[in-house]
Each structure stands twice: as structure tokens, then as C-alpha cells.
Amino acid sequence: MTGSRAISRWGRVLAATAACVVCLCVAVAPATAQDDDAMSVEEFVQKRDRWQILQGATLKVEGRYRGLNDDRLSFTNCDLLFQFADGVKPPPARDKIVQVSGSIETRQGKLTFLVTRIKALPSDAETLADRRGRLTPDNADPWYTLADWASSRGAFYEDADLQSSAAELRRTAIDIEYRQIKVTDIEPLYALARKAQSLGLPPEMRDDLYHDALRRELRASRQRDPRQRDVVLTHILDRLPGSGVPIDEETFLREQPAYEQDPLEVYRGADADKRRILARILYSSACLERIELDADPEGRNGFAIAGRIEQSASEYQSRADEYRQKEIDWQQSHLAELSRDELLQLVERLESRNADGDSARVVEAKSNWLAGQESRFRERGASGLLDFAQEHVALLDDADRAAVLYMELFNDPAAQSTARARLVELGYQFDGTTWTKDLDDSPDPTVEAIRRGIVRKGMTSDQVRAAFGGPPASVVRFAVLGQVCELWVYREHGVAIEFSRRGPEAAMLAVSVSELGP
């Protein structure tokens, strides 16, 4: 299967030109063609160093002349005199290209070309039209050959029309080769782009070919190792002007839809400035696609992904924001799994975002993290509980909760000294039986109830332990309507307390307090 679309802009121009050429060939057919063994003036001049040894050999030379009279002529860009032999008549002055036959001789010490025969030839424009009319649209080689002839002759005679025709012929040849490349081929397309550049064709044609090849390479890379995408991204930066220059979001959003709908045609029809924008859209979109291959599905590396998007595909700022939010959501839903540093990282992110409700979310995150970590702190014994109390002060500035924990620790002989010191630091006094604090400084009724050894609804499991000076005699765990519940029994106090937890990371709260029967 060959390429389904040619380089349309050039194709339309060339088709129209070809039609004109056909008409020209019908209207002005050349009467006489040059002999196959005739050399052009350009070729003849290139053999200047052999003119001496070519004396006496029959030669044929064709080209444009700059001077003509009854007995001689001068070819353009050739300083050798061409002298007519007896009986040779000059062609009509309207014929500007002639072919002469004869030989080089030495006359009066100078080399002279003795012309024994002369004939008029069609003009270069007529020759070009005739030769071009015989070319077929499925073989590029003859087009290149004719282009080389027009280019060389145009340069020799400084003929801008011929040189322009040479470029046009080469564009047609490139277009023929492009149509013959399979839609899945990549390297032949790159090679054709390099060829267009080496032939001096307009950079727009080279970029058309590179753009198509890059999109093909990007499409093929999706079936390979993700690292292959990095190679394609490098190729885009190297080969498409403008691809490495970020554009503003408004321009990006305006131009992207049409480009994505028909990228090849939109790119071919764009001017140089717009092509730079489209190249950036291609690079930025491909870059985003590559970055997202590394994104964790649950969002746990959202901030890292967002940073890469902002650095390499800044036009997708909203997508970067989404990834940041995704990691925040993940951290908030996995608080129990976070280390202390990760918790502080989450807090910093919420505080720096400064969105509505984030202050409350910060407090909630710290509280839930502490609730989820309590069992780990308690597993470490007295030292862990001391650290747990200190975390309430450090993270939540919750001296009351810390005091409750210190009071619980005070009942442990191994930690009593430290607990006493911490309670004194918080303004508490011990009267030999209970710890007290001026209510003006500590108006919390829960603290006062704990101090008096009273348990109330709404207390946390820690506060109940602190009020009764230790753990319960027995614990029964059960579930009610999807909530985890526990029944604590303090036989020595004649009390049973029912706790309920509303979420996996929420604290256990007392929902009922009842006396035990006899």
C-alpha cells in the first residue's frame, strides 16, 4: 500500500503547471532537436584544457550565442571564436540556440573552431516543455534527470526561469517518491526529507516530510518500550522548528482541535509561524503521553508527574493540577500508611494550596493520622506513649489530650517520673490523689472528668483509660451497620462502655456508659 495523500499543496501547483506544459508542447513543437552526441557549451568549456589535443577531431557543440554575423559566431560564456567555413550560412537571428559541427584548428597562432555545419535548435523553454511532456507520473528518476539539466543550464546562463523550473521538477519528483512510500514506512520518509533538503528545495517541503515521518514514528513507538518515546521526542525537537518553544494556553486550546482532527493537512496548509505552533502542540501532546506512562494509577506520585508536565508540557497546566490533587486525595485516604514526614508533606501541600476548607482538612489529617498511629505508639510501651502525647502537642497543640496520656502514664511506675514532669510543665498539680489544674487555664470538662475518674459519652478510648487508670478487664469487638464497635468492661468500677468507630482511621468514641448488674 502506498501513501494515500501526496504533498498536496505542491501537488496542486505542479498539476496545474503540467497541464500548461502539455498545451505548450502541442502549440510549439520543436522543428529540429539537437544530436545525441552534441555537447553543450558548458561541457565544451569544461574541456578547455583538452582543446589543444582535440584539434582535428569532429565535434558538435550546442548552446546560446551572444554574437552572430555572416562569417562567425560567439557562444555565451565561451571565449573561443567559431569561424564559418565557406558555404556555411548563419541561421535566422530569431533562433538563439544553435548546434555547430566542425573541428578545432590553429589559425594565426590562435585556436579557432571551424564550423562546417550549423543548425538552429528549439529554445530551452521549448526543449524543457517537450522533454517534460514525455515524463510519466510514476517514475521519479527522469524528473530528477531533467531537473539536473535545467539546473545546470540555468546556472551556466544565469537563467532564473530555468532554475525555477528545475526546483519545480524536483518537487514533483519528491512528490512521486512520497506517494510510493508505504504508510507504515518511517526511515524512507526521513531519507526523502533529507533528500529534499540536499536538493535545496524549500524548507516547508522538508518539514512536511519530517512532520509526517515523526507522527508515524510516534504511532509505532506506542507498541514498544516506553523509552522509545523518548527517542521520538528528541527527534521532534531536532527536526521540527518551534517544537521546543512553549506557547500560551489560549493559543494551544484554540489550535489543537483542528490540528488533531487532520494533522497532516493542517500542517501542510499552515504558514511558518503557525507551523511552529503546531509543532509545539505535537511535542507537548507526545510529551504528556510519555509522562503519563509513569503515573501511578492511584495517584501516589502525582506531584512528581505534575512537575514533569510543567517542565516539559507546560500547556497542560490543568492536567498537572489534577495530578497534584490526585496525590493529595491518595494521601488523605491512606493516612495510616503515611510516615510522619509524609504527613507533614501533606500538611504543607494543603496549607500552600490555601483552598477553602483546607485549614479544617489540615487539623482532620493530623487528628486522623494520630488516631491511626496510636496502636503503634502503644506497642512501644511507656516510651511510645510519651512520644504519642508529645505528638499531640507538636502537631495539634493539644495540651489537654497530652495531659490525659501523661495521667495514664503516671500510673506506670516506670514512667511516673517523666509523666509527672510533663504534667507539671503543662500547669498541673498533684495533691497525692489526683492531678488538678486551674479551671481558668483548663476549662475543658473532659479533663476535669478524667481527673475525677468519671467516664462520659463522647470520650475517646484513651480518655476512658486515663479516667480509670488503665485498660479494661475485657473487650468484646463487634460490627453494627458497617461500624466497628467495642464493649469495654471495667468490673472493678462496675461500668460497661460501648465504643463506636465511624471510619477505619477515626478515633473510637464512647456512645453509651452503663452500670453492670450484681
Listed in sequence order, the residues at least 6 apart from 199 whose beta carbon sits closer than 8 Å to its beta carbon are 170, 174
Residue 42 has pLDDT above 70, yes or no: yes
pLDDT of the residue at 406? 92
Listed in sequence order, the residues at least 6 apart from 210 whose beta carbon sits closer than 8 Å to its beta carbon are 190, 193, 239, 240
Q: Output the average pLDDT for the chain.
A: 88
Least confident of 19-33, 204-218, 259-273: 19-33
**Helix pair 203-221, 227-239: axis angle to 10 deg:** 170
pLDDT tens-digit map of 492-513: 888 999 988 877 667 788 889 9
pLDDT of the residue at 30? 40
Whether the CB-CB separation of 116 and 85 falls below 8 Å is answered with yes
Mean of pLDDT values over 355-375? 88
Mean of pLDDT values over 2-18? 43
Round to whole Å and give the CA distance between 272 and 405.
72
pLDDT tens-digit map of 284-328: 999 999 999 999 999 999 999 999 999 999 999 999 999 999 999
Q: Select from 93, 157, 166 the least CA-distant residue to 131.
A: 166
pLDDT tens-digit map of 171-185: 999 999 999 999 999
At residue 90 the predicted structure's pLDDT band, cuts being 50, 70 and 90, is confident
pLDDT of the residue at 25? 32
Residue 390 has pLDDT above 60, yes or no: yes
CA distances for 375 relative to 68, 241, 508, angstroms: 113, 60, 12
Q: Select from 61, 62, 57, 81 the least CA-distant residue to 71.
A: 81
Round to whole Å and give the CA distance between 26 and 400.
106
pLDDT tens-digit map of 446-485: 777 887 888 888 888 878 888 888 889 999 988 877 788 8
Which amino acid does the sequence have at 481?
L
Round to whole Å and give the CA distance between 199 and 142.
15
Round to whole Å and give the CA distance between 89 and 118.
8
State the burial class of residue 410 (Cβ atoms within 10 Å of its Cβ: 0-12, 13-18, 19+).
buried
pTM, whole model, 2 decimals?
0.70
Task: Go through 427-449 and write b for each residue having 16 or more CB atoms within 10 A of its CB, e for each that does not.
Answer: ebeeeeeebbbeeeebeeebbeb
Round to whole Å and give the CA distance between 111 and 45.
13
Strands (E), 108-254: 110-120
CA distances for 517 relative to 339, 494, 496, 499, angstroms: 45, 8, 10, 19
